[in-house]
Amino acid sequence: MSQIARTTTQIGAVLRRERRKRGLTQGELGRRIGLRQATISKLEKGEPATQLRTLLDAIRALDLQLTISERGKAARQEIEDLY
């Protein structure tokens, strides 16, 4: 299932939802990719200082992939309502 995310907060929410769906704690996900639980927490909160590599490692550990496409015409509020 594809999910739209346009902000760091939305990306974090997607990752949190997917982690929980797989029954993982933040600590367990962190151990899978060699990071502390606190780093996973920051990633899921959408903190902008998170490194791209951390994001990609988390995506890989959750067996997800990143797809970049042209922005749809949905209004910002419609996207925010998903979260």
Please report the pLDDT score of residue 74 as a whole number: 65
Query: At 59, which CATH number?
Result: 1.10.260.40
27 lies in a domain? yes
Examine residue 75 and state whether it is found in any structural domain, yes or no: yes
**What does the DSSP assignment read for 19-46?**
HHHTT--HHHHHHHHT--HHHHHHHHHT
Give a yes or no: residue 3 inside a domain: no
Indicate the number of domains in the chain. 1
Tell me if 68 is assigned to some domain.
yes
Q: Are 42 and 54 in contact (CB under 8 A)?
A: no
In one letter, which amino acid is 31?
A: R
Any domain includes 1 = no
Asked, for residue 52, whether it belongs to a domain, the answer is: yes
> For residue 28, what are the domain limits?
8-81
pLDDT band at 76 (very low <50, low <70, confident <90, very high): low
**pTM of the entire structure?**
0.81
Give the tens place of pLDDT for each residue, 16-47.
999 999 999 999 999 999 999 999 999 999 99
